A and B are shown apart, each in its own frame.
Chain A
Amino acid sequence: MTMMDVITVSEGVIFAYFIGINAGYLTLNFFSIFSITRYMRNRALDDITDSYSTFHPPISLLVPAYNEEATIVASIKSLLQLNYSEFEIVVINDGSKDSTLATLIEEFKLIKFPEAYRKQIKTNIVKAVYHSSIHPTLRVIDKANGGKADSLNAGINLSKYPLFCAVDADSILQRDSLKTIVKPFLEDPRTVACGGTVRIANGCEVRGGFLEKAGLPSNLLALFQIVEYLRAFLFGRMGWSALNGMLIISGAFGVFSKSVVLEAGGYRTDTMGEDMELVVRMHRKLRLEGRSYRIIFVPDPVCWTEAPENLTTLKNQRTRWQQGLSESLTMNRELFLHPKGGTISWLAFPFFVVFEFLGPLIEVLGYLLMISAFAFGLVSYKAMAAFMLVAIGLGILLSVSALLLEEMSFHIYTKSKYVFILFLASVAENFGYRQINSLWRMIGFFRWLKGGKGTWGEMKRKANWTRS
C-alpha cells in the first residue's frame, strides 16, 4: 500500500465519519420535529385541561452546594417561590470552605435538628441536619466533603418524597418548571426519570431569582453555547427521548423516581459524570431485568444556567464532561449490544460510543490529516473543498435545524433581530469554536484514559442576576 493509498483510505473514512455523524443527528432532528409538534399540540391542551388536572406528586428538591456563598441565598429564595403544590428543599453543604453554611444559617434562621432518617445509601459523614425556622420546607445537611454525587446521595437519604429533583445551586428555574417536568410521571406511570431543557442565562434579564426576559449575550463564547445547547437539547435529547434511548439527563435539572434510584444504588461517587452515569446505569438495570420503563425528556425551557465566558473555564468544563461521558459508557459497557438491551444497546449506546466517545479523537485527527495532506500536496483542492463543505456545511445545517425547532416551539427569543443573530452564530460557531471544542474533548478522552479523579466542577460565577 502506497502513501497515496493510505491517504485515499483515510479520506474515505473521514468523509464517512463526518457524513455519518451529521446524518445521525439529522435523523434525530427528523424524529424531534415530529415529537416537538406532538408535544406542542399536547401543551396547547394544558391550558384547557389544567383547571381539572391539578394533582401533582410531592417532590424533594436536592441542591448540592460547594463554595456557593455568592449565589446560594438567591437560589434558595427563588426555589422557595416555585409554583408547585407540595415540595421540600434539601440543601447539601458539601464541606464548603467558604461561608456557604454560615450564610444559610443566618439568612434562613437555621437550627440544628435531630433528624431521624434512613441511611439507604452510604455517604461521607453527615455532621448535622438543620431545619429552617422560617421556611418549614427547607432543610440543610452539613456534611464532610465527598463530591457532588455523595451530596446528592445524602440528600436522597434525607428526602421525604417519592420523587426527587437534582438542581444545581446556580440554576435559575422557571416558576412552573416542576409542574412541567412532573407531567411525564402523571401521564405514564412507567416513567422513572425525566430531564428538562437547560438554557443559557447569559444576556437574559433575571429578577427576584426568576427569568424575566430572554436575551442574547454580547460575549461570543456564550452566544455560541446558546446554539450548542439548542442543538444538544432540542434535537439531541428530544430525538433520543422519542426512541426511549436517552442516555443523559442534565445534572442541572432532572427528576427521578427515588425508589428506582435506590434500587440502582444511588449516584456513583467515583465518576465525573455522575448524572449521565446514573441514567445509563438505570437503563442497564431496568433493561437487563426486562422491566418496562420510560426515561423522558421535556423540551420546555425549565432551567437556565450561567455559561462560561472564558476559554479556560469552558475548556475545564468540556474536558470534564468528556471524562464523565467516557466513564459512564465504560462503567456500563455490559449494555453495549446486549441482546436484552433493545434501542439502548443497539442504537443509542453504539451511537454514543462511535460519535461521542471516540468522535472527538476522529474529528481532530481528521482535521489534522486533511490539512497536513493538503499542505503537502497529497490532497487536491477539490477534495479539501469537499471536506470543508461536509465538515462545516453539515455542521451549519445541524445548528440551523435546531433554530427551526426553537421557532416551531417556544420562541424564547422574541425579538426578530435575535433570530438573525442566532443564525449568524450558527454559521460562525462552525469556524473554530466547534473544532476547539473537539480538541478539548479529545483532551478529556485522554485524561479518562490516564484515569483522572473526579472533583467538583468549579467555575467563577458572575451571578449578575442576584443583584437585581
Chain B
Amino acid sequence: MSEEPSPNDRIDDAVKTRLSRLREEPVETAELEHRLLALASETESATPRHRFFTGWRRLTATAAVVVLAALSGLVLMNLQVSPAIASPEQMVSLHDDATNHNPTAKSVTTIEQARRELVSQWNGVPELPEPPAGSLCGCCVHRVANRKVACLLLKDGQTPVTMMVGSTHDLRETEGDTREIHGKKFTVHRLNESRIVTTEQNGRFVALIGELPETRLLELADEIKF
C-alpha cells in the first residue's frame, strides 16, 4: 500500500531538489586555478638537501639568506609602492570579463547601491565618481595588472561600457592620444573594435572601455561627475 507523502516530506524533497540546482550556477575558477598551479609548480630542487652545515658554511649561508631577504623586501616594497601601468590590452580584457557572463557582477541602478555593494566586497574601494545618468546597471570588483579595481557596468543604448575606477597609487595610465574637454584631460586608446578613454582625477584612475566610437566614449567620459 503506497502512502501519500506528508506536506513536510514534500517540502523537504522540494527544497532538496531546488538546492541541488545551485550547482548549475557557473563558478569562475580560472584565476584561482592559475594562482594555485603556479604555487604548486614551485617545486623543490630534485637534488637532496644537505642537512648539516658546519662552521663557516653555515655562517655564509645565513648571511646570504639575510642579504637575499633584505633585497627581496626592497623589491617587494618597491613593487607594492609603485603604481602598475594599465595597458589597453589589460583594460579590454577586463571589460570582456566584466561584461560576459560575469557571475560576480551585481545588479545596481544607483551609485549609492554600487558603493554599498562594492564596499561589502572590498574595504579599500576608491571613491566612485558618478557615471552618466541612467547608464548604470551593475558593478563588480576586478583586477587589472594585479591591482584591485572597482568596475561600474554601464549601458549606452544596448552597448555595454565598463567604467573602471582605481587609485592612482595602484594604477597609472599608459601614454596615448590626449584630448581636452571642458578643461578635463583624457587619453584615448584603440584596440581592435574597442576604444578606451582614461583620465586621472583627484587621485583616481578612471577608464571607460567599450566598443563605441571614440567621440561617443569621450562624451560619456565628459558626463562623469568626479
Q: Do A and B come from one complex?
A: no
